Structure 1
Amino acid sequence: MGNLIYLRPLVPEDAKISYQWRNDPRIWEFTEFKPTSIITEEIETKWLEAKLKKANDQRFAICLSDTNQYIGNIQIIDIESNKGEFHLFIGEKQFWRKGIGMNAAKLILQYGFFDMKLEMIFLFVHKNNTAALSIYDKLGFITVHKRHNQFKMVLTKSMYLLENKFSEDRMTDNEAIS
């Protein structure tokens, strides 16, 4: 992986950048949740502050290791009963298709399964989002349900361990999540 990226907790100040992503239709092309009006920095800040107060969400910024540039978000939300919902997006389009999504997903899955002690992580993905589907397939997620244009995919800790040939002893990757 080469530590090209690291994850850090999202903070309200990240809204100064993320509000711009929320107004870019290309970023939301494959999601069910699209903004219906222009998102201002103030709207984004209030939204982010509310989300960061949720005890059952773990939200992180994806940052480049060499410059600390904030380029996307990754999270596990609605955590309960040892399971949570995974979300990922790269907001800075110049970093699309560079392997960053895969690297970030590996970091958050390791964190979710080993630090948070989750037993299952699931996600929803648009059937035409080939970049995301490629990542999720390589990580071992399996499709368990199809509805309209969305697939629900699941990865359990045991599947993850088998797919990635990890042991339960957490690999330390120079504390990639700070």
Structure 2
Amino acid sequence: MSQIYLRPLELKDAEVSYQWRNDPEVWTYTKFVLKNPITPDIERQWLSNKINLANEKRFAICLKESNKYIGNIQLINIDADSAEFHLFIGDKAYWGKGLGYEASVMVLKYAFYNLNLKHVFLEVHADNAAAYSIYRKVGFETISRESEFLKMVINPAILQKLS
């Protein structure tokens, strides 16, 4: 039984997520570089610019037991048949507990069964063993490497094995 649920990101989430954006450990293996501290107002403005974009579906990862918001998962650059996948658990207390895997399965089912996408791709830092493990377990396959980042892709046929 799932420990989490996904819901659309909301402006109020900025009160929590701005803290994650200021934590360099959360972003160690990403292309995000913090130049100036992120305030709740800056985060709220960023969210307000993102949450209603037609080609993006951004979700909060929340614990069923407490409704606590612990991370984000999203599909961006959505077009007729593909999207780019992003995942992070911002609350480090929940790292390594299998929640990223659960959220990945949920959003990929949404991508393939609701949005009817043909493939979803992502980039992951080659040294990010935890993320790479999740992506491989879900069914992403490495298709190329650019510098320190691996490009991975998944299609609906692979995901059906998880159902």
User: Paired residue for 2:70?
Assistant: 71
- The yes-or-no answer on 1:98 pairing with 2:97 is yes
Distance 1:86 1:34 in 2: 19
Structure 1 runs (4+) deviating above 4 angstroms are none
RMSD: 0.9
User: Paired residue for 2:16?
Assistant: 17
User: Paired residue for 2:142?
Assistant: 143
Return the TM-score normalized by structure 1.
0.89
Q: Determine if contact 2:87/2:104 at 8 Å carries over to the other structure.
A: yes
Distance 2:80 2:114 in 1: 15
Q: 1:145, CA displacement in angstroms?
A: 1.1
Distance 1:115 1:53 in 2: 18
Q: 1:160, CA displacement in angstroms?
A: 2.1
Distance 2:6 2:134 in 1: 18
Which residues of structure 1 form unaligned runs of 5+? 167-178
- The yes-or-no answer on 1:43 pairing with 2:62 is no
Distance 1:84 1:9 in 2: 17
Calculate percent identity across the aligned residue pairs: 47
Distance 2:34 2:14 in 1: 15
Q: 1:159, CA displacement in angstroms?
A: 2.6
Q: 1:82, CA displacement in angstroms?
A: 1.2
Which residues of structure 2 form unaligned runs of 5+? none
- For 1:153-164, list aligned pairs within 5 A: 153-161=152-160, 163-164=161-162
- For 1:120-131, list aligned pairs within 5 A: 120-131=119-130
Q: 1:53, CA displacement in angstroms?
A: 2.3
Counterpart of 1:15 in 2: which secondary structure?
Answer: helix
Distance 2:157 2:105 in 1: 15
Can you list the C-alpha shifts for 1:18-62, whole angstroms capped at 9, x where unaligned? Answer: 000000000000001222110011000000000112110000000
Distance 2:16 2:83 in 1: 26
Distance 1:137 1:43 in 2: 34
User: Paired residue for 2:54?
Assistant: 55
Distance 2:4 2:24 in 1: 25
Name the aligned partner's letter for residue 109 of structure 2. Q
